[in-house]
Amino acid sequence: MFVAVRGQGAEQMSLSGANPVPVKIPVFPDGDLNMLESVEAAHSSHSFNQRVSRLLNITKPPKRMDSQAKYCALSRGDGGIYLRLPGTSGYVEKIWDHAPGSLLVEEAGGVITDAHGRPLDFGLGRGLRENHGVVAAGKTAHGKVLAAVKLALEEEKSRV
């Protein structure tokens, strides 16, 4: 179980609540990042994530899992990047899929934005209507990841 309180950090503990251990996103050396992504291709564009991985020289295969597990894995360093870019136009992320994980990542020392570098806006109803996708990584990697995401988006636009 993972717990985060704004300004107080993040912890992982057993289901009984025993043995809490602080979690922190580590600094990954260049070339040692790996990608976390959804199992469901309908939730996120796997091909887009592959392009971003190539731009970042990531050679490790992505770790695929569902639900909040990706945020938990990122917060304790089991992955270096979580990307969730829409696989279809018009898809809007739901706030309940990202609000808890967003706090967990931030309290574990990470940064979470949309693909344009904007903070996720959880105050506009049930959906993240003003955001385009989710980009989460440690503080030291987020800027590089965001630059690769923006480049991949530009490449995508030029093909259309």
Give domain limits for the chain.
24-159
For residue range 125-160, list pLDDT tens digits in order: 999 999 999 999 999 999 999 999 999 999 988 876
Please tell me the total number of residues recorded for the chain in this structure. 160
Q: If 0-12 CB within 10 Å is exposed, 13-18 middle and 19+ buried, where does residue 114 land?
A: buried
State in words which class domain 24-159 has: alpha beta
**Pair 87, 50: CB distance under 8 Å:** no
pLDDT at 16: 92
Residue pair 71/100 in contact (Cβ under 8 Å)? The answer is yes
Alpha carbon of residue 50 to chain centroid: 15
Considering only CA atoms, which of 64, 78, 61 is closest in space to residue 12? 78
pLDDT tens for the chain, 160 residues: list them.
999 999 999 999 999 988 999 999 999 987 789 999 988 776 678 889 999 999 999 999 999 998 889 999 999 999 999 999 886 777 889 999 999 999 999 999 999 999 999 999 999 999 999 999 999 999 999 999 999 999 999 998 887 6
Which of 27, 28, 21 lies closest to 2, judged by CA? Answer: 21
